Amino acid sequence: MIKLISTQNQVPIFGMANLRGKQVTREKLDFSFYFSCGDGVNHANRVKICFDPNKLSHREFDGYMELHGDYSWSPNDNGRHIKAKQVNKAREFFKKYRVLFNSVWFESIPEDVVQDYLRGLIDFEDVLVAFEVSVVGEELYDRIQLCKNLTELTQTVEE
């Protein structure tokens, strides 16, 4: 979920979950990214990407990718040239794991569950039990628990 972080001036700012590409063990990534739930956000589901697997910086991020429709890419004007091949690889990754990022966006599962799963710290079954019954409803929750893999989970949730 989005966390409010206090600064020295006591002005709350939004915090986002993040993953450095080098931390992700389920895929080989050449980028790092931020993601969050949609509570209190005035835009559609998207991720903030830095095409460096070793670091994340709000100041050096390379752009946003929408996590719906055609997964459009909006580059940041930071002077770095990002190749289409890099953007397409990121797009493929986010499409593959869309059910997890969308579930975070709609607060069906906590951000840290997706972080831990992509880091290889928890199993797929741990992701399934993390779904919030109060958000998805008992019937869908029961069907989610029967899923054996990401493809089945995606099909079940998107039905």
Kindly report the backbone phi and psi dihedral angles of residue 148, in degrees, each rounded to the nearest multiple of 5, phi listed first: -100, -20
Helices (H), 10-149: 84-96, 98-105, 111-118, 124-129, 133-136, 138-145
Q: Where are the beta strands (DSSP E) in 11-56?
A: 12-15, 17-19, 32-35, 46-50
Residue 8: pLDDT above 60?
no
User: pLDDT for 56-88, tens place per residue?
Assistant: 766 678 999 999 999 999 998 877 889 999 999
The two beta strands, 12-15 and 17-19, are unpaired
Entry pTM:
0.85
Domain boundaries, the chain: 3-158
